[in-house]
Amino acid sequence: MSFPVRTSPSRRRAPVLALALALTATAACSGGGGSAPGEKVVVRWSTWGSAEDVALYKGFSDDFMKRHPNIVLKMESVPKYEDYHPKLLTQLTSKTAPDVFFVGDDNIGKFVSAGVLAPLDARLSGPGSGSRPEDFFEGVYGGAKKDGTIYGLPNDTNPEVLWYGKKALREAGITEDPAALHEAGKWTMDAYLAMNAKLKAAGKAGSIFWNWYGSTYSVIGGFGGKVWEGGKFVATTDPASRKALKTLAEGYADETFLPADVLPESNGASTRFLRGTAGFYAGGRWVIDVVKKGGDLANYDIVPFPSPDGRPMPGAVAASYLALNKDSEHAGEAFTFLSEFVGKEGQLLRLKGGGAVPSVKGAEQVVLEGGYPAHAQTFLDVRDTGFANYPDEVAVPGLTKEINDHLLKVWTGKVPFERGMTELQSLVDGRIG
């Protein structure tokens, strides 16, 4: 996530990573940037998203300014995710950037390395903070934490899970329920692939994936493989990882798997899943908005990605981060906003009825209220033990996109698998030096 834009499905799922947007700040907190009594301070903040996405934050913004009448929030939005970060980098270089801004999980590393983000640890531990470092799950920090220092707080998340259509599975002769298998400790990669084979034999696609790290690295984990180890990219050399990638390539070749990125708009991923011509659809909580359009909500449920032996494993979590401009002239007010926006009460207000999963502890009711899907707890289980994209990867500007772009060539048959793996390894090695 998620959430669609086009870079990483963490964004394209986007009303979801709608999640990834935010706002401004307020009252003075620990350290600099305070305002004189009675003086109004304008705090600029930036995000990406459509007008519909941005409108989701009005409630929080209005509430915030009522509680902090000395703060005036000024939002600066960019419609397209792919345009957002280049513009922000230009603003940071020219010292015209907002006080607070969002950064995507595939871009956070470059911003940390560039030294343009203010470290947040001291402020988070201060008396004026609305959040604490321990309020968030360690794995979700991803590239926003470097050498133990926090440079961005996850504003919300979207754990990657497998949605499935019960009717499609029944029509393929599948009698076992994936979620029930998971609860029994029997949700293995072998069981999952067997279901995909039955779906294919019944004239359906097995699974639909967006081409991003969330799906790809979750499948690698399901084979017991590794992606990064000791600062090195090992996905093409680790035997289990290579087997996973080869399984994906072969599945795309015979259309057991479908790449959502290149499906025609008239018959895209959501349409095929709702029509029951595919059994599984990998995505986050944002898929709730998709299945609502199908009408029969009871037909759909979720399950984590399978593991080699049926025991729960860490899963991928799409995230975005709220960061503080190192050169902000209103750092105190800006941080107050930042910490409240990502805090428990802020997320409860922002995410009610939305398609995201809170990144902060104590706001789980947003996901569980309403009881949908039946196994909604799965979103929280994956979040609690999951991981945002690897710090080693996001520390290299553009590397995640280059990996995804190259893999898409393999998935679509433009590059043979063996050659594709050799080229992928060379690509990554060349970028990380």
- The pLDDT tens digits of the residues spanning 235-292 come to 999 999 999 999 999 999 999 999 999 999 999 999 999 999 999 999 999 999 999 9
Cα 259 to Cα 287: distance, rounded to the nearest angstrom: 16
Q: What is the pTM of this model?
A: 0.89
Question: What are the pLDDT digits (tens) for 58-96?
Answer: 888 999 999 999 999 999 999 999 899 999 999 999 999
| Least confident residue range of 168-182, 184-198, 273-287, 342-356 | 342-356
Identity at 378, one-letter amino acid code:
T
Confidence check: pLDDT of 32 > 50: no
Rg from Cα positions in the chain:
21
| Least confident residue range of 104-113, 375-384, 421-430 | 104-113
Cα 218 to Cα 216: distance, rounded to the nearest angstrom: 5
Pair 105, 135: CB distance under 8 Å: no
Cα 379 to Cα 318: distance, rounded to the nearest angstrom: 12
- Please name the residue that has the structure tokens 């470092």: 133
Find all residues with CB under 8 Å of 430, minimum gap 6, and list them: none
Sorted by where each starts, the structural domains of the chain and their CATH numbers stand as 9-159+319-385 (3.40.190.10), 161-303 (3.40.190.10)
Q: Provide mean pLDDT across the span 13-36.
A: 36
Nearest to 101 by CA among 114, 110, 88, 90: 88
Question: What are the pLDDT digits (tens) for 230-247?
Answer: 999 999 999 999 999 999
SS3 320: strand
